[in-house]
Amino acid sequence: MAVRARERHWALLPEALARRLKPLGRRFADGFATLMSGSESLRVNRVIGVGHRQRVSRALLAEIIQFYRDAGIHRFGFELGPGPQFRELGEWLEVLGLVRRGGFSLYLRDLRRPIEAGAGEVVAKQARGTNLTRSIELAERIFSVPASRRSWTLASARSGQREHFLASIGATPIGVGALQVEGELAWLGGGGTLTRYRRRGAQSALIAARLRRAAALGCRWAWSETAAPRPGRPQGSRRNLLRLGFEEVLVKPSFVWEGGARGASPLKPHGRVGRGSRS
């Protein structure tokens, strides 16, 4: 679901913006890799989903590295999700020179369970009409989206692929969240709150509102992700998801590639060859 969603989102990039950003998106087996020329951001230079359903070779991982090299990108992230080669792929990535840098916790919730109604001053509702525009503008502020990418944000919001939710205190919008549905699955993401209004219940209200909407649409499961726990890092998202009935399924490790000469062969091992590196 995440792979298809990212692929569709990149296909919505407006032509004028694409000419300037020079994006590339490419399928590698069952995963999807994206990049933007000249960017060092791991949010855009990223690989997701490789090996989540089918077995892949170490040579394919080397091909992915070369994909970024050929585009002049020297920094990208690789998110390793669950799959038949979970441990083996992690070892291969390290052999090929990628370094583990944190990861993402994956959470799942059975929507047959009761959803806490919630109470307090914050009201969260689906954003329509004028409120949809307000939610887009607020998301740009919260996530520091460059104004130059407004056309892409608008194209995504108007595509109908996701539903957007707005949390408010009275007439003041303070938080946003998105919901995407595919069959019996519902994804909760894009959640954020203005700094000055944190700890007021906005995130809990947004989670509950999206869960109720997903249940009404006939979904059986809801899933979400947050940055994996790290010492000294606030864990508000994690606490709210767990309190509202989600269970942590696993941690998806993130690996980062940095540096390397253009055209050099990524098939050459970096350091000791670990278990599972012989194919």
Q: What length is written for the chain?
A: 279
The H-assigned helical ranges of the chain are 2-11, 15-21, 58-70, 86-95, 130-142, 150-158, 202-216, 236-243
Residue 176 included in any domain: yes
- Domain hosting residue 160, numbered range: 113-219
Distance (Å, rounded) from C-alpha 263 to C-alpha 67? 10
Whether residue 80 is found in the same domain as residue 120: no
Residue 273 included in any domain: no
Distance (Å, rounded) from C-alpha 274 to C-alpha 268? 13
Domain count, the chain: 2
Residue 86: CATH number of its domain: 3.40.630
Whether residue 90 is found in the same domain as residue 119: no
Q: Calculate the dihedral angle through the C-alpha atoms of 182, 42, 84, 67, rounding to the nearest 10 degrees.
A: 110
The answer to whether the predicted template modeling score (pTM) of the entire model surpasses 0.75 is: yes
Whether residue 38 is found in the same domain as residue 95: yes
SS3 223: strand
Neighbours of 246 (CB within 10 A): 23
Whether residue 97 is found in the same domain as residue 118: no
Give the CB-side neighbour count of residue 251, counting CA atoms within 13 A: 13
SS3 84: coil
Whether residue 79 is found in the same domain as residue 123: no
Whether residue 67 is found in the same domain as residue 128: no
Residue 182 included in any domain: yes
Whether residue 152 is found in the same domain as residue 200: yes
Residue 225 included in any domain: no
Contact 108, 247 (CB under 8 A): yes
Amino acid, res. 86? F
Residue 193: CATH number of its domain: 3.40.630.30
Whether residue 131 is found in the same domain as residue 206: yes
Whether residue 59 is found in the same domain as residue 124: no
Residue 237 included in any domain: no
Residue 245 included in any domain: no
Whether residue 9 is found in the same domain as residue 94: yes
Residue 193 included in any domain: yes
* 279 residues of the chain, pLDDT tens digit each: 999 999 999 999 999 999 999 999 999 999 999 999 888 899 999 999 999 999 999 999 999 999 999 999 989 999 999 999 999 999 999 999 999 999 999 999 999 999 987 668 999 999 998 899 999 999 999 998 888 888 998 899 889 899 999 999 999 999 999 999 999 999 999 999 999 999 899 999 999 999 999 999 999 999 999 988 877 666 778 999 999 999 999 999 999 999 754 444 454 444 433 333 222
Neighbours of 214 (CB within 10 A): 25
Residue 231 included in any domain: no
Whether residue 157 is found in the same domain as residue 188: yes
